[in-house]
Amino acid sequence: MKDAGLVGIGLKLKERRKQRGLTQQQVATKASIFRQDVSRIENGSFVGALSTLNKYLHFAGLQLTCTERPSPVYKTHLTPQTKRKVDKSEGDGPS
């Protein structure tokens, strides 16, 4: 299954490459990565090293940034005891 975030990154990179009139091989050579990795990155199926993705991003004049966001609590993965504690802290359970 393809990750939506990676697909979005790949589409942006592919768009930049085509705007510059470059082939995947030209990007690979200039960014010092394999052409197959360029293809995988562009179609959202890349599972290689982050450094490889970063080389392509850098070549395209882009950078990957991380932002903090709240992570949801998935109650389905909790034990019954932990679930009661989470429910109580959220005000969903008995006091």
Q: What is the mean pLDDT of residues 8-19?
A: 94
For residue 22, what are its two tokens? 């470059």
Percent of the chain with pLDDT over 70: 73
Residue 95 has pLDDT above 50, yes or no: no
Residues 28-73 have pLDDT tens digits of 999 999 999 999 999 999 988 999 999 999 999 998 888 887 766 6
Contact 56, 27 (CB under 8 A): yes
Question: What's the whole-model pTM score?
Answer: 0.67
> How many residues belong to the chain?
95
- Helix-strand-coil split of the chain, %, nearest 5: 60, 0, 40
Instruction: Identify the band that residue 83 occupies on the pLDDT scale cut at 50, 70 and 90.
Output: very low
Res 82: pLDDT? 46
